[in-house]
A and B are shown apart, each in its own frame.
Chain A
Amino acid sequence: MSRTIALLFLLLAGAWPVRAQFWGLPNWADRAVRDSATRMPPEGEDAWILLDQTLVSYRGAGELRKIHTRVVRVLTKQGRDEGTFLSRGFGKTVSKIQKLKGWNLRPDGSTRKIDRDDLVSIDADAFAGRTVSTEVLSAATLPDVEVGCIIAFESQETLKLPLGPVDLVFPLESHPIRRYILAVGVDLPFRTTSREELLSVRVDSRNLNAWASVIRQSDRLVELEDLPALPKDEPWAAAGLEQVPFVSLRFQDPALTVCPDLSNWDGYAKWIHQRYAPMIEKVQPVPMEGVSVRDALVRLSQWMRTSLVYRMVYLSPERGWIPERSTETLRRRYGDCKDLATCLLGGASALRLDGSPVLARLGQGRIPGDAPVNPFLFNHVIAAIRLDQSLEFPAEVQTPRGRFLLVDPTSRTTPLGWLPVGHRGARLMICTAEGAAWVEVPDSALDRERVEYHLEGQISSEGVLTGTLRILESADALGLQSIAQTEGAKGLKQHSLRFAPQALPAHWEVSSIRPPMRPEDPFETILKIEYSGARIQKGGEWELNLPALVRPPAPLKRTKAKRRFPIEVPPGVDYHWTASLKVGTEASPVCASGRLATPLREATWKASSQGGMLDLALDHRQKPVRWEIKDQDAGLQALRKDRSDCLRFLEEALAFQPGQGPATGHK
């Protein structure tokens, strides 16, 4: 008997530590930990998400319920951030966290817990500059989180978005995920006008294959295994919708008559048109009689660019999607992209021109041709003015639904008739009363970024340069024009200091600012400058150290990890630089002329010297180029060689020998 008891005791004692390892976690979290117990944590990561599971249920009347469970193992001190539950909502009328529980299972076996009472909501605008919105950040932090802890959260949130039961989910996070699950369902309460048999549930995913090791998918489930962390430090990453994995969810409920029809793009476009139409009130803030339609539109656009400020103020959740009335935007003298587009269309309507809002996506990759219907693909609105005949603007597009002039009134420096370069390569959706008209932005529609620098002055024998630097900037290529507008000469000086070859120049002042008189004119500023170290002795040669020269690209770090994103280099600014410098002594350029041609850039250099004067000229243009993931090694090699070639080109261009002598050109 005593042997039996001893044996039983040993068995229990042996089993106890295994059980106690995960004691204190709920069963679902326990399972997630056990499932990953045999695997090594990913190397070099701060945390490992063992499970991220979301069940999205439609509850009728436009309401979604999300039940989210998450289990994380903290691997380093930086990973302790996972001990904070964080959720961003649109305010109580739209989103609310109904339930929350959190567990922190510590390495010593003790457990800390929190619940909904520990939730703190903070005004999200506190971190958002001048934006005013209804957004709220809700957070709750588990105490005593340290390396080795297992963190678990379970939350339930209800959402009732103005656009209805729709969502766009991006699974990747800053930490790798062992198992990711997204499930959708319908859970209608007893009293509801919604009918389950009439509902349509769509789950569309894109780009999962490139990221997950295992994918299980059905019409209501997406399950992924071993998702890596979102890559960081990948220079020139083409990280848009054509690469990142995402899942679009939508519940189409005929009972929701105020929400958009998302069964196809036409349905959504018409809904947008219907919401904007009553807001497009006829306005005439500037006289438009007695001039041609073309000139009247130019006048309207010029007035809007100086008189209205681009600013995001959303006092209700709907304002994220529905614009202000034109008259109200004029009263306020500010508005966001939707408001400014609506105001412009209101002005166009005073010229008896119809118009439509245009949905766009800025800065996060173009919308693919096979994108699922989802409002969250867009983050910007511009305007399309319907034209019966061409006004001969570059930004006119012909579509099956008519001819339109595309205008982005949020750009202070882009004249009417062009689009700012942020729309390069974009697909835009014009929302007409008849439906959607998709257009691709042609390069010819884009405002052309160009910059010219003209340096005149002298370099003393001690290497001090004094002179003037004249900068001509088109399309706000360097941001100088907009800085001058909003921050004046002081702000312009601060921003122009980046052209100085070194910190603390003896003198660097803006001596004149000339805004463009006509749309095609550049913005001009002249700086009076003085600094030392303009001429540096290197062996038997000098090297000139001059302002505003093209900078060679930054070195690329060598990493063992393969890239996840293709390499995409956009076209750069047209760059033209000249210098006329008195050096007071004979000097001959090492290279009187030079040319640089790489897959990424083209540049030419000319230098001449006579009677103690140096005349120099540099033209440069960065070329667009792309390498797909399979060609990344070749791409990285090309980027490294481009840097080397660029450095060499500039070094030779700026090298001079004292005294006259033959100078050679080279390729």
Chain B
Amino acid sequence: MRIHLMASALMILCLRGLMAELPQIKPDVWEVKEAETKGFGAIILERTIRFHATSVEHAYLIRVLNEQGRNAVEFPKFLPTSTIEGRTIARGGVETPFKASSDFQTKALVETGKGSLNRTSVIPPGLTLDCVVQIQWTEQAFFGVAGPFWDYQVQDRVFSLGARLPTRRLELEVYDDLAWGYDLQTGPRGAQIVNGKGFRKAIFKEIPAYEWVPYSEESAKDNPRFVLYQQPRYLVEASQKGEKVFWEEVANHWYRPFYDQKIQYGKVWGAFSDEIRQGLPPSRQAAALELHRRLVARFLDVTALTPEELAARSEKQNKRKIDPRDFGEVLKTGETTGAGLHLLLWSLLGSAGIPAKPVFIVDRRERKLRPKECNIAQLGDWVLMIEQEGAPPIFIEPARRFAPPDLILPKFQGTEALALTPADPKWGYQVVKVPIQDGSRNTQVVKVTTIVGEDRDQIHLTSHSTGIKDWEERAQWWSMLPAERNKNLKEILEKRDAAVQIETATVGPYKRGPFEWKCDAVRERDAARHIEVNPFPLVDPPMDLPRDLPAQRQERIALPLLGLQEYQATIVCPQGFVWSGAPPIQRSNTFGEVSWTAGPGDSPSEIHVLLKVRTRTLLAEPSSYPEFKTFLAWVRESFSRTITLSRSSS
């Protein structure tokens, strides 16, 4: 209680002491027109961020012009903060300063027996439909300490400089007392850079408001960003010498030891290596893939077990600590980890004379690789690249279960990645392009048979997936036991159509073959003049179809993956009903192809419908937007088509 009172008193003193220091507001703030807010109703006229070693200072001057803008003025909850001060000024000069006792709240964000992390909320008072809000605060931070000498847990913080409102002017200052590295990404609008005594400043103008757009990704927006990253102490010097020195140092002293050092081969390694490499195909890439196939057949990755596999093992087995570098033990037990599989493959490839390069890939949805940003934390997953003359390189993810290891997840395709080039005496590095795979291995085939009745339909549906589609669907049910998967599938399907009763739903077999799920269902039908049949009930459309798309677009277009979605429907009509046919759809543009055909089936009462949607462009520039909208409209049109059965006049 006493500490709480003291903290409150200190807070009030800080606020009172500093209230007078808010900058003067220039009269021209009242000249701002609503059009400048670009439909947001408010605009950030000035914003300042100053980065020090142990604090970050923030200041905002916001002009509110209507109710929408008033609603948008909301400040984040502040983590440990030493000072917050602010005021609202309405047109006419009425000023409402922020009061400690009634406009702020400090509360524990998280509290455990070992301590707590507080947060402070500020609720700006006095907001009107025509006012100015001014606020500044200082938050505690810890950028004054470089990372420990040897710690694989480096971190970074990304500050996206776009806000929910448009920004007229932003000044970002970085002071020299920072021990973390930083990278300023100014975006296509650029920034004016000013070097001062003990600091550097970047001035941005006219930053648009951040808005989410369908089929876009963060890294493609080119919004200005500021990245602070923690540098391991021993790499600080190298980072100051430029990207070449830095990444060579990383290659040789950060990653190389994992591959070269402390591997305990054990007594039987030699025999094992010879035996498993026997009869490999002559081509490097085929040999690498075959070697990987043999490895996963021999060794269990205990970090990637399904729940039923875990349940079948004892607690002792599941809790056993595994050292991936102890090959002797791995050979004895047949168990390793994902990192262990990676190392095993690496070592065996080396023995087979197949040079493999470790490659560190970056998730395109969040960032792009920037080698000049000497920041290890920007690197994401790691794979092995196998090059071969006359063929594009393949990228093997050794630890991926239930999917071909050379399938690249779409979020990594079309990016640049950092490849290490093993050599003696010194490893090097290079930037490589991760290709966009053509999607031919990614398929989903849905087969539906609907026996139509006048008051209910019987539906039988199966879905088979391969490639990335297989992997994604399998991941959805990974953490469940078989009975739970079936129950979950039933719930998902019943949520999609309230008129449907799912009689059976089965997921799997889970561990082998293309991924499959199936169901039998009954759908009640209401009496109607015509019988309208949805050829493809209970399945999601081949692509996400947002309700609407913006008229214009600045961002690059990114599809989730390339592949083929095929839907085959057989509709068995009831007696006395006929179908008068429907014209086919056959469309194609740079984004892909959409075809819809329907015709008589094997018997007079059957109708066959076939819908195919193939996508072939993963990433496209905004100039392709009109084509993209057209493509989505085709998908919507074809997927929503129904078959209308009318009573026969005879």
Contact = CB atoms under 8 A, between A and B. Distances in A.
B127 A76 contact: no
Could you say which of A333, A502, A554 has the most chain B C-beta atoms within 10 Å of its C-beta? A333
Interface in A99-129: 108, 110, 116-123, 125-126
Contacts of A485: 67-68
20 contacts: A77-B480, A120-B110, A121-B111, A123-B109, A130-B74, A306-B67, A331-B126, A332-B102, A333-B126, A488-B40, A494-B547, A500-B547, A504-B547, A505-B548, A538-B530, A538-B532, A541-B529, A644-B527, A648-B526, A648-B527
B112 A651 contact: no
Contacts, number: 157
Interface stretch (A16-24, A260-268, A307-315, A399-407): A307-315
B121 A132 contact: yes
B499 interface: yes
Interface in B612-642: 629, 632-633, 636-637, 640
A563 to B, nearest CB: 16
Contact of A132 (B105, B125, B481, B524): B105
B526 A331 contact: no
Main secondary structure of the interface of A (DSSP, over half): mixed
Nearest to A235: B498
Nearest to A487: B68
Given A120-B110, A540-B646, A488 B41 contact: yes
B108 A123 contact: yes
A491 B66 CA distance: 14
Contact of B644 (A311, A334, A490, A538): A538
A655 interface: yes
B71 A332 contact: no
A47 B637 CA distance: 44
Contacts of B70: 309
B526 A557 contact: no
A226 B580 CA distance: 58
B119 A77 contact: no
B540 interface: no
Could you say which of A331, A498, A500, A537 has the most chain B C-beta atoms within 10 Å of its C-beta? A331
Interface residues of A, number: 69
Contacts of A493: 548
A38 interface: no
A15 interface: no
Contacts of B640: 502, 533
A659 interface: no
Contacts of A489: 39
Nearest to B524: A555
B545 interface: yes
Would you list the 8 A-B pairs with minimal beta carbon distance, nearest first?
A539-B646, A555-B499, A488-B68, A332-B125, A121-B111, A538-B644, A117-B113, A644-B526
B151 interface: no
Contacts of A644: 526-527
B6 interface: no
Nearest to B112: A120
B458 interface: no
Interface string A464-500: 0000000000000000000001111111011001101
B128 interface: yes
Interface of A: 76-77, 91, 108, 110, 116-123, 125-126, 130, 132, 134, 136, 147, 306-307, 309, 311, 313, 315, 328, 331-334, 485-491, 493-494, 497-498, 500, 502-506, 508, 532-533, 536-541, 554-558, 643-644, 647-648, 651-652, 655
A122 B102 contact: no
Could you say which of B41, B107, B112, B487 has the most chain A C-beta atoms within 10 Å of its C-beta? B107
Contacts of A119: 112-113
B501 interface: yes
A654 B632 CA distance: 28
Contacts of B528: 647-648, 651
A77 B632 CA distance: 38
Contact of A134 (B103, B107, B527, B578): B107
B546 interface: yes
B213 interface: no
Contact of A494 (B103, B110, B548, B636): B548
Nearest to A646: B526
Nearest to B577: A539
B484 interface: yes
Interface string B97-134: 00000110101111111001001010101111100000
B633 A76 contact: no
Could you say which of A503, A508, A537 has the most chain B C-beta atoms within 10 Å of its C-beta? A503
B543 to A, nearest CB: 11
A504 B547 CA distance: 5
Contact of A331 (B125, B494, B637): B125
Contacts of A118: 113
Contacts of A494: 547-548
A313 B123 contact: yes
A539 B644 contact: yes
Contacts of A116: 113
A502 B636 contact: yes
B117 to A, nearest CB: 10
B644 to A, nearest CB: 4
A209 B246 CA distance: 75
A651 B636 contact: no
A307 B633 contact: no
Contact of A121 (B108, B480, B578): B108
Nearest to A307: B128
A108 B315 contact: yes
Contacts of A108: 315
B636 A504 contact: yes
B503 to A, nearest CB: 12
Interface string B541-579: 000011111000000000000000000000000000010
A504 B129 CA distance: 34
A95 to B, nearest CB: 14
B501 A558 contact: yes
B55 interface: no
B549 A504 contact: yes
A313 B548 CA distance: 35
A334 B126 CA distance: 8
A126 B110 CA distance: 10
Nearest to A501: B640
Given A331-B126, A538-B644, A651-B528, 13 more contacts: A91-B107, A110-B315, A121-B111, A126-B109, A487-B71, A491-B68, A494-B548, A497-B547, A497-B548, A537-B580, A555-B498, A555-B526, A558-B524
Interface string B417-432: 0000000000000000
B96 interface: yes
Could you say which of A118, A332, A334, A532 has the most chain B C-beta atoms within 10 Å of its C-beta? A332
Nearest to B483: A76
A126 B117 CA distance: 14
Contacts of A651: 528-530
A557 B498 contact: yes
Contact of A652 (B109, B129, B487, B529): B529
B113 A503 contact: no
A503 B545 contact: yes
Contacts of A648: 526-529
Nearest to B646: A539
Contact of B545 (A77, A331, A333, A504): A504
Contacts of B123: 132, 311, 313, 332, 334
A117 B644 CA distance: 65
A503 to B, nearest CB: 5
Interface in B143-177: none
Interface in B306-326: 315
A508 B550 CA distance: 10
